[in-house]
Every structure is written in structure tokens, then in C-alpha cells.
Structure 1
Amino acid sequence: MKQAQGAADNPSQPTPINRVQENLLARSERRILNWLCARFPAWVTPDMLTGVGMVGAFMVFAGYASSNFGDGWLWLTMAGYFVQWLGDSTDGSLARFRQIERPRYGYFLDHSCDGLATTLVVVGIGMTPYVAMEFALVALTGYLLLSIHAFLSVRVLGELKLSYLNAGPTELRFILLAFTIMMMVAGPDAPRWETPFGSINGFDIFTGGVGLILIVLFVLQTMVTSRRLAVMEPPRNGEWRQP
């Protein structure tokens, strides 16, 4: 759902944003998205596709939450990931394909929906019988911290980083699909281990581990960006004058 291309202080002249996207599937996905955009009927709009993406996020949440009543509900989650990808990936692509971008509006709506969608997905994972909510919240914290870094980078560098470690939203969806399939294979009675923090299983370790990796990435990216800004804006040694 990357409708946004710019954000600006000047309401009449949005500052272009350099989109940094280095994920493994970027080129293949771009060909698919261009193919889809060329075939969407005229009545399909970017805002409509944004809504489709949010419907998919609620499907993912509902499937995870309902998995307490049976593993079969996880099929709803997997269908939701596809629906969410369809809306999330094509709304901005369609706007650019038709050259009808609305940079400030798209940027705001896009990232607002991204935040809500990710919260629904991660909290949904924490509501399953497979993952403790505490570990899910660690993953959500990592995501939100990286989001903050991305938004700050847009303001201070004019860059929007869309991937980390050669992985972006699409690669993450494939990982989550595999994670969900493993839930169905292992079942809620997967082996557990007693620790000083309580009983945990492999799903808890994976979810918490991903969260910790995201937090570490946030710290590293903050250090890298700070160094870049320090070079761009060296300390001022001019004489201080009392106002």
C-alpha cells in the first residue's frame, strides 16, 4: 500500500521521497503489480484497494483469534494475508500507474493503515493458543520502533526505507504464512520448556526473537543515521552571542 511519494512542510510543493527498497522479491513483485494495475477496471480506485488491504488485516486477526476454537480457522488467516497483500501492494501502485498520486494524503493514509494492520496481525498472533501475548508485544514494539525510524528518516533525509536485511513486507508475509502453517502442523500442544520466565514453546521463541532483531535493527539504524546527519550538519563553532 505504497501510495505515498512525498511529504512536505510546503503544502503546495511536496518534497519527493527517495524510496529505498532492496527486498529480494521487489523486481518480481513489481512485474506482477504492473500487470494487475493494467487490468484493473476503471471503477477500482486506490482508496478502494486500501480498504481491501484493511479487510485482509481484519481477516488475519479474526483467523488468529478464532484459532482458540480450532486450527481450521487459520485458513481464514492465510486467506487474509493474500487479501491484505493485494490491497496493500496495489493501492499506491495503481495511483502511480494512473498518475493520480496524492502525496500527502497517500502518505498519511498509507502509513496510518499500515500501523493498524500490523497491530491487528501481531495482537492476533498473541491471542492464539500458540504464542503468549508478551512475546507478540515484543515483536510489535520492534515494528513500531522501526516505523518511527522510517518516518523520521523521511523528515531528516528525504528517504523512506521499505526493507531491512533484504526483506520487506512481502517477504514478511511469506514468513508469517510459513509460521501459520507450522501452527497447524504442530498444534497447540507443541513441546514447551520451563524457564525462569515461565513455560514457553518454539513459537514464543521465534516471535520474541523477531521482535528483538527488529529492536536491534532500530538501534543500529539510529546510529547509522545519526552519523550521516552529523557529517551533513557538523558542530558550529561560531561565537555565541547573548540574545
Structure 2
Amino acid sequence: MAYLFSHHSPQFDRSFLAASEQKLTDAILAALPASVTPRRLTKVGVIGAIIAAAAVIGCRWSPAWLPVFVVGIALNWLGMALDGPLARSRNETNRKLEVFGQTNDLLSHILLIVTFGASPFLSLQSAFVILVCYLLFSAYNYVRTIAHRARPMAYIGLGPSEFRILMAAWPFMAQVTGVDEIASDGPTRLDTAILILAAFAVIGLAAKTLADARELAVRK
């Protein structure tokens, strides 16, 4: 969807970092050579996700993998945040690019969430709870995009970039607070907290869905 809708869509629920991210992406796009294409940027994003996924698993054995993980997240953002704007700036938007970019963005996030469950920073159970929430929100975003002709929404100010920042920051926070899910037997307090937060998130999504449905009914 990123190839079809502008950040300036009147129905776009802007995230906390949307304005700053727009300025940064505009500056980077202005410096990109013609040889850099939207498809290549999408591939850079996928490679970044694979690097980050391998590094977060590597943290099971050594925290020295953490800088590699951050580099992977940065590459993932670089590719996935710039492919759509570059396509629009060059008038190269089409359905093929849209599907290619959106599918790889989705798969990259799924890969990162699942591999967190194999790291010391999150249990597999919590990773799957987060994955279920992510898929629910993604599915509703696709429905909402078609119904409202708007770019995918940000939930309580959190969009893809904020989500990546949280992923990049969590391993460091976990180290500071002494989280080690590998050494834990059975559900931990972190698992319980994530389950409660997930429940509130799903309730919020249900409320948002009902509000959007009422808005559509009024328009008709």
C-alpha cells in the first residue's frame, strides 16, 4: 500500500515520528543516485531483516551480536521506509511494486517477531502473542485502506518506524533489567505483562473497528 498513498493523505493517522521521518526520507531521497531503484531498496530492507533476525538469535550466546542487530534494523528501515516514497517521486507506482514492497515488509516483521522468541529477550509464547496482535492489526489495516482509501493507520501514535525502534531498544532494556527468558522455567512476569497489554490492544482495535464502521455507515 505504501506505493499508492501519500503521507499527506487527509485520512492518514500520523505516528509520533511521521513529520521527522518525512524530513529525513526527503533528504535521503534527494541524495540517492538514479541507479538506486524502489525494488533494490525493498531488497535492502529484507536483507536488513535477515541480518537482524540472525543477530538477535546470536544474542543467546553473546551480547556482542547486539550492534549487528541494530545495524540490521536500520537497514530494514532504510529499505522499507524509502521504497514507496522513491517510487512515487519517480512516478513508478504500480500494483506489482505495491505487492512486492508490502509483502516483503510484512514478512520482514513476522521474521523479526518470531526470532525474538528464540532470543534471551522474549519467550516464544510472548513472541507468538505479539505476532497474533501484529497480524490482526495488519489485516485490519488492509481492510481499512480499501474502505477509506487511506494509508495504513498508526495505532496510538505507533507506526512501522516506532515499532522498529521499540524492537531495537528492547534488547538493551532487557539487559539493563536482567531479563533472560532462556533461563526461565514456565511463564514469567514479562509474559503476563505482554498478555495483558495484548488484551488491551485487541480491545482497542475492536473499538477502532466499530468507530470506522459507524463512520462508513454515515457516509453511505
Superposition TM-score tier, normalisation by shorter sequence:
0.7 to 0.9
Q: Which of 80, 86, 109 is equivalent to 2:78?
A: 86
Alignment correspondent of 1:218 = 205
Alignment correspondent of 2:137 = 146
Are 2:9 and 1:4 equivalent residues in the alignment?
no
Measure how far apart 1:188 and its partner are: 5.0
Measure how far apart 1:133 and its partner are: 0.8
Q: Give the 3 Å change call, closer, same or farther, for CA 48–210 of structure 1 in structure 2.
A: farther
| Alignment TM-score, normalising by the size of structure 2 | 0.87
Amino acid at match of 1:221: K
Alignment correspondent of 1:241 = none
Alignment correspondent of 1:74 = 66
- Give the number of the structure whose residues are more often helix, by fraction: 2
Aligned equivalents of 1:108, 1:177: Cα separation in 2? 26
Q: Give the 3 Å change call, closer, same or farther, for CA 4–57 of structure 1 in structure 2.
A: farther
Alignment correspondent of 1:11 = none
- Give the number of the structure whose residues are more often strand, by fraction: 1
Aligned equivalents of 2:211, 2:40: Cα separation in 1? 38
Aligned equivalents of 2:45, 2:111: Cα separation in 1? 12
5+ residue gaps, structure 2, are none
1:184-236 CA distance string (max 9 Å, x none): 3345548x999xxx34143x355445533432232122111221233234xxx
| Alignment TM-score, normalising by the size of structure 1 | 0.79
Aligned equivalents of 2:42, 2:53: Cα separation in 1? 17
Aligned equivalents of 2:10, 2:214: Cα separation in 1? 19
Q: Which of 89, 94, 99 is equivalent to 2:91?
A: 99
Aligned equivalents of 1:19, 1:174: Cα separation in 2? 24
Aligned equivalents of 1:231, 1:62: Cα separation in 2? 48
Residue-pair matches, total: 217
Q: Secondary structure at the match of 2:60?
A: helix
Alignment correspondent of 2:218 = 231
**CA RMSD, Structure 1 to Structure 2 (Å):** 2.5
Aligned equivalents of 2:48, 2:105: Cα separation in 1? 12
Structure 1 stretch displaced more, 207-216 or 120-129:
207-216
Amino acid at match of 2:150: E
Aligned equivalents of 2:97, 2:5: Cα separation in 1? 8
Contact 1:60–1:124 (8 Å) recurs in 2: no
Q: Give the 3 Å change call, closer, same or farther, for CA 53–189 of structure 1 in structure 2.
A: closer
Amino acid at match of 1:232: R
Measure how far apart 1:137 and its partner are: 0.7
Measure how far apart 1:144 and its partner are: 0.6
Larger Rg: 1
Q: Give the 3 Å change call, closer, same or farther, for CA 105–35 of structure 1 in structure 2.
A: same
| Amino-acid identity (%) | 28
5+ residue gaps, structure 1, are 7-16, 234-243
